[in-house]
Structure 1
């Protein structure tokens, strides 16, 4: 809005089909494959072209505009430049539409736009790891490896005990420190569910970055809940994995994630975006057991992501996301004119954004 005011422009806030109130069909578990087929990148891009070509200024707004010469004719893209601003997925669409329909959108500011659609996005949490303090990273890596190894190779007793500790840490919190998880509940929990607890502190990283989302957790971890001075080498290297694990679980329990500001997830938005990444974009943020600095459990696999897609949408999906529908515009090799690409220093999607043209 500040850019529009500065240059005396007309700002239009775009609502994507299948999101918000722009629902051609009710979105729920009963939405059919025949209905989901209308949620594609091409359809979304064509919506913009159609809108821009047919747009006329509503009379209620026209009367409020100070420029007396503003008319519906003068706002057509053939006369007045239309400039697209978008971040993340909207940034992708901006870059694509400059290639697809350059006569409709004159210029684009694409921020953190992952233009290279790919199924395997194991690199996603590498940015989060790089943003960590080195002692926090070392302990997180060590704890993740220990949990993965135990759940894969430990005895049944060791696995159940570890699952119980992990799930209790998640169930606990500043207002419920004595939460318990039964042995039966722990034994019935899957490895993915239990190991996924280690990723709870990463829930808000994409939205708030290291300082607001990860630093509070790292501080609790490295000071053993504010009872000791942090060590440069970290806890695992100094005292052993059990001390690091206990401190890690304490950090999970002590941080009140519900108190972090932000809008609650919208089930319609979640389902619509899931259809899009399951059908065209991929971006499966799997764990990478080959990465010696991985802070994501290897139980988060490509197969798991695909299973979740197939379970949510039992009909209508391809065997694997059809990333070629997006990458046909060039992906990393695209060279659109009049597009400003900007990216964050510790960008989670750094491996799929365009760093230079």
Structure 2
């Protein structure tokens, strides 16, 4: 489902996935001093069986243009399963599927609780070209000819083929015999809803959390939504400091005589070797994790720091004042180094460090396999480029342009254009025509999103220009075979207040309880509609 560059975009996505799906950031019990006599013993939690790890052979290209096959990983937990029960599939999307085994191995996750309540079987399905489910090694030497089979269509058909051919202990588990339910968040949520939309005979129901349904090249609205969230959380003054600072920086960058100096003031030696655009994207560093944590400790600290000293009264001097404050913020260079260049770069910042050689490289290609694959998907079909939200609410330099992000595609895949396999721009309209985009209305789908999640702007809940008006209902349709359409503007879902990306999938998150329970209640109703062998129930 993300920024400084494409690489940083995926870093944020991976951190969001890891936190939301229980691999990091899980609340731990605080140490409390107690009288030993007052301690009440509780029965130990019985561990679940280790999930079964398998692989499934799939064609590299479902259209048949490539004759080879590859192995796609999956994992299964059948501890709770009773014959005839539903199959729950968790789709981790653009990530290593093994990261999410907690959903099959730990009782505390919301996914595992569904398995227990509905006597279901749990499966984690790894996306092609991620984790260890790739037909080719993914690195800087991977060619466009090898990447070309990473398409939305191929990845969806992978799952459909698997679901219809999956066998388990001589039980009847095909989509014709038992209901298959797909659950995912962010890009995984998009996939869950799209599978239900395009392959209703395979996918009986879906839970689509923070799903992005409208694909578009220009997603500068990402930063506009960050701005709205910061204002809502009481940081409007901070957004004005940012705007004044970046406007001043843009003036400095526009002159060759001052461009190198302003770059060095922020990030130190060697940064002047980068383009203005490469430098410009680093201004997202303070709010880089907004979609994961909202106003986190870093952003709050940054805003407090910017607010700690009174600016000069003259308006004309405030831009330079706030730029100087920002450049001197101790965490800025550290954050840029952390989020840029796969973590291998070092930007020393304004204070010279003679004990470490700076290597502040901002315009390079990413070498991280996950990031390479996501960049290909973004460049060919999805878009989701993050240029600055130019205008009164701008949170970054105007040099962070749409063209810069498009050029990143050409830079990352140098043989892409010459081979004819990398399009001149992402084919977003073509993809929206297939999926329905904002007008996607599959039945038996539960939609959720965070009120201030930057990705909500392209979700089913969007209120952006061009998005259709919808009415959100907390009651699922009682009609078993009702088929929705783009003209039906009633959506079964829940917009999580004061929340960001995929919060309803966070382990231990109080705000997740209501939407998790809403989906369970809907399933109790929907499952009554399933009749084994009746293909009409998929519609």
The answer, yes or no, to whether TM exceeds 0.5 is yes
Q: Partners in 1 of 2:307 and 2:171 — Cα distance?
A: 61
Which structure carries more strand by proportion? 2
In the TM superposition, what whole-angstrom CA distance separates every residue of 1:30-73 from its partner, at most 9, and x where no partner exists?
Answer: 2222221211011111111111111122x5xxxxxxxxxxx531
Q: Partners in 1 of 2:257 and 2:205 — Cα distance?
A: 61
Check whether the contact 2:267–2:333 (CA below 8 A) recurs between aligned residues: no
Counting only pairs closer than 5 Å after superposition, residues 246-257 of structure 1 correspond to structure 2 as: 246-251=324-329, 253=331, 257=335
Q: Partners in 2 of 1:131 and 1:18 — Cα distance?
A: 34
The residue that corresponds to 2:446 in the other structure is: 340
Relative to 1, partners in 2 of residues 1:253 and 1:19: Cα closer, same or farther, differing over 3 Å?
Answer: same
Which piece of structure 1 moves more, 24-33 or 212-221? 212-221
Q: Is 2:166 the partner of 1:55?
A: yes
Relative to 1, partners in 2 of residues 1:30 and 1:213: Cα closer, same or farther, differing over 3 Å?
Answer: same
The residue that corresponds to 1:135 in the other structure is: 237
Q: Partners in 2 of 1:235 and 1:353 — Cα distance?
A: 42
The residue that corresponds to 1:64 in the other structure is: none
Q: Partners in 2 of 1:292 and 1:202 — Cα distance?
A: 18
Q: Partners in 1 of 2:298 and 2:203 — Cα distance?
A: 36
Q: Partners in 1 of 2:199 and 2:457 — Cα distance?
A: 26
* Pick aligned residue for 1:13 from 103, 117, 124: 124
Counting only pairs closer than 5 Å after superposition, residues 306-325 of structure 1 correspond to structure 2 as: 306-313=406-413, 314-315=415-416, 316-325=421-430
- Residue 234 of structure 1: how far off its partner (Å): 11
* Pick aligned residue for 2:178 from 69, 80, 92: 80
- Residue 120 of structure 1: how far off its partner (Å): 1.1
Q: Partners in 1 of 2:312 and 2:147 — Cα distance?
A: 49
Q: Is 2:314 the partner of 1:215?
A: no
Q: Is 2:257 the partner of 1:157?
A: yes
Residue ranges of structure 1 left out of the alignment (5+ in a row): 60-70, 169-180, 225-230
- Residue 160 of structure 1: how far off its partner (Å): 2.5
Counting only pairs closer than 5 Å after superposition, residues 253-268 of structure 1 correspond to structure 2 as: 253=331, 257=335, 267-268=368-369
Counting only pairs closer than 5 Å after superposition, residues 210-249 of structure 1 correspond to structure 2 as: 210-224=295-309, 240-249=318-327
- Residue 195 of structure 1: how far off its partner (Å): 2.5
- Residue 104 of structure 1: how far off its partner (Å): 0.7
Which piece of structure 1 moves more, 48-57 or 203-212? 203-212
- Residue 167 of structure 1: how far off its partner (Å): 1.4
- Residue 221 of structure 1: how far off its partner (Å): 2.2
In the TM superposition, what whole-angstrom CA distance separates every residue of 1:145-169 from its partner, at most 9, and x where no partner exists?
Answer: 11112212x4x4332321211213x
Check whether the contact 2:438–2:460 (CA below 8 A) recurs between aligned residues: yes
The residue that corresponds to 2:19 in the other structure is: none
* Pick aligned residue for 1:37 from 148, 163, 166: 148
Classify the secondary structure of the residue corresponding to 1:163.
helix
Counting only pairs closer than 5 Å after superposition, residues 295-314 of structure 1 correspond to structure 2 as: 295-313=395-413, 314=415
- Residue 188 of structure 1: how far off its partner (Å): 3.1
Check whether the contact 1:117–1:326 (CA below 8 A) recurs between aligned residues: yes
Check whether the contact 1:200–1:252 (CA below 8 A) recurs between aligned residues: no
- Residue 324 of structure 1: how far off its partner (Å): 3.1
* Pick aligned residue for 1:283 from 372, 376, 384: 384
The residue that corresponds to 1:173 in the other structure is: none
Relative to 1, partners in 2 of residues 1:131 and 1:234: Cα closer, same or farther, differing over 3 Å?
Answer: farther
Relative to 1, partners in 2 of residues 1:201 and 1:120: Cα closer, same or farther, differing over 3 Å?
Answer: same
- Residue 134 of structure 1: how far off its partner (Å): 1.0
Classify the secondary structure of the residue corresponding to 2:294.
helix
Q: Partners in 2 of 1:81 and 1:122 — Cα distance?
A: 39
- Residue 204 of structure 1: how far off its partner (Å): 2.1
- Residue 200 of structure 1: how far off its partner (Å): 1.6
Relative to 1, partners in 2 of residues 1:213 and 1:131: Cα closer, same or farther, differing over 3 Å?
Answer: farther
* Pick aligned residue for 1:193 from 259, 278, 284: 278
- Residue 10 of structure 1: how far off its partner (Å): 1.4
Classify the secondary structure of the residue corresponding to 1:342.
strand
